[in-house]
Structure 1
Amino acid sequence: MGAGPKQRLVFVDRLLVTLVHLRLGLPHAALAQLYGVDRSTVSAAVREVRPLLAARGFAVRGTAGGPDDDAGLDAADVPLRAGALPD
């Protein structure tokens, strides 16, 4: 009943929450319900992970949007690095 520390997401969960939000467009509030955390925890995770994805060559649209924007991942124009795929 409100006592104790807020539950935090480990990095893998922050990454997963971000990918699900970007791919499926689920609102931060819905993801927060699924993970049992506050909406602000999901929003912070998405803000943290989006630049990491972009820095590694994933095109992330809608980075200027609000916490419940409808951004998605679009890798159609992202060049693959040599050796990125198995032979």
Structure 2
Amino acid sequence: MSKRLMRVTPDQIKSKQGILQKQPLNAVLSNGNTVFGILLSVDATHLVLKDTRNHQHQIALSDLYEVVYDDDRGIVPPSRHATL
């Protein structure tokens, strides 16, 4: 089955925390940098990821552009673009 890239904006992270904690994900920062890891925790201002070297990264939600993860359920995500 194919995978779909799911994109989650910073304001949606708290509500999707249960799904995100089960997934390896990429945190894409506003400056273009990306941090890959597993979500450990989320609060009102930060999220904490653990990378493949077991280092923790605390990322301010204000610095976060989006979180991207692969969803293997085969469900097509709704578009973030009004023209599609």
TM over 0.5: no
State the TM-score, normalizing by the size of structure 2: 0.24
Structure with greater proportional strand content: 2
Larger RCO, structures 1/2 (Cα 8 Å, 6+ apart)? 2
Structure with greater proportional helix content: 1
